[in-house]
């Protein structure tokens, strides 16, 4: 009887130490078995499919490359040859219209129009170019641009009226006043620079000299109190260290 009890205790202890048996799912998830057509990663852990195969649900399936296509550099997909574009799982030949040329179908419809033409549906159409315009090299928009000195308006190119003391801007479709003049409507008016002032760097506004403050259309002398100095802006003042600005004077902080 004692021997039987002792045997039961030993068996029970062994079962407790061993713990519950792993399920099939636990065993499979911890498996390090590499599937067919795969290899161990060259860095880190795990595996990766060989070139020409793609991973799907823990397996490596062969990449089926259709006619007129090639295996992509990553080795897990395919791309159509030049002159073909993807249509589902196939590569359809690109039909290049008259006055067009073939391009890489990965980034376009597979063709573009020659200069002087624009895409309308599946055709390349030559737009009507108005006077004082030229064919553009863009496949978007109207297909033409106005010459320098003209601007587009309602499908035509109208001359830019440049007033006195002005010049055409770099794009050629607008104007800007010369230095010392400001734009007022369709004219360039001279900038009246008062005494003790100068034109700013852009030449379309004036600023007061250092030590003066703008007061309407003139420059007034900047009044600096005792223990004060003209600050960085040049048109205002600050107090020496330890003093506060108060009522136009520099006073002690405890006043």
- Tokens at residue 165, please? 């003391």
Is there a contact between 130 and 123 (Cβ–Cβ < 8 Å)? no
Q: What is the pTM of this model?
A: 0.50
pLDDT on residue 77:
93
Given this model, what pLDDT does residue 2 score?
46
Are 99 and 117 in contact by the 8 Å Cβ rule? The answer is yes
**How far is 25 from 191, CA to CA, in rounded Å?**
85
Domain ranges of the chain: 49-93, 96-159, 224-255
SS3 letters across 182-201: EEECCEEEECCCCCCEEECC
Fold entry, domain 49-93 = Laminin (2.10.25)
Q: In whole angstroms, give the CA distance from residue 41 to residue 34.
A: 10
In sequence order, what are the residues at sequence separation of 6 or more whose Cβ sits closer than 8 angstroms to the Cβ of residue 120? none
Q: Please list the pLDDT of the chain residue by residue as tens digits (255 residues).
A: 444 444 444 444 444 344 444 433 332 222 468 999 999 988 888 899 999 999 999 999 999 999 999 999 989 999 998 889 888 899 999 999 999 988 887 767 888 888 878 888 889 988 888 999 998 876 667 778 999 999 999 999 999 999 999 999 999 999 999 999 999 999 999 999 999 999 999 898 999 999 999 999 999 999 999 999 999 989 999 999 989 999 999 999 776
pLDDT at 210: 95
CA distance linking residue 253 with residue 239, whole number of Å: 11
Per-residue confidence (pLDDT) for residue 140, from 0 to 100: 66
User: The tokens 């020496």 sit on which residue?
Assistant: 240
Closest CA to 225 of 250, 193, 195: 250
Alpha helices by DSSP H, the chain: 2-18, 24-29
Please provide the DSSP assignment of 93-105 as one string. EP-PPTTEEE--T
């Amino acid at each position: 009887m004692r021997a039987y009890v002792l045997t039961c205790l030993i068996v029970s202890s062994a079962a407790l130490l061993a713990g519950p048996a792993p399920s099939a799912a636990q065993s499979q998830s911890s498996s390090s078995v590499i599937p067919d057509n795969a290899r161990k990663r060259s860095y880190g852990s795990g595996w990766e499919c060989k070139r020409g195969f793609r991973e799907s649900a823990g397996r490596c399936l062969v990449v089926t490359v259709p006619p007129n296509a090639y295996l992509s550099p990553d080795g897990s997909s395919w791309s159509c040859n030049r002159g073909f574009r993807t249509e589902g799982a196939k590569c359809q030949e690109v039909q290049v219209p008259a006055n067009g040329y073939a391009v890489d179908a990965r980034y376009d419809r597979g063709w573009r129009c020659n200069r002087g033409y624009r895409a309308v549906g599946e055709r390349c159409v030559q737009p009507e170019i108005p006077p004082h315009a030229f064919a553009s090299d863009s496949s978007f928009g109207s297909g033409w641009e106005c010459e320098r000195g003209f601007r587009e308006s309602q499908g035509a190119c109208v001359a830019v009226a440049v007033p006195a003391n002005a010049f055409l801007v770099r794009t050629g479709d607008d104007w800007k006043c010369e230095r010392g003049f400001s734009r007022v409507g369709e004219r360039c008016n001279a900038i009246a620079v008062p005494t003790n002032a100068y034109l700013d760097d852009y030449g379309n506004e004036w600023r007061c000299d250092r030590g003066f403050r703008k007061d309407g259309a003139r420059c007034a002398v900047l009044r600096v109190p005792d223990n004060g100095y003209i600050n960085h802006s040049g048109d205002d003042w600050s107090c020496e260290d330890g003093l506060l600005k108060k009522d136009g004077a520099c006073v002690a902080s405890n006043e």
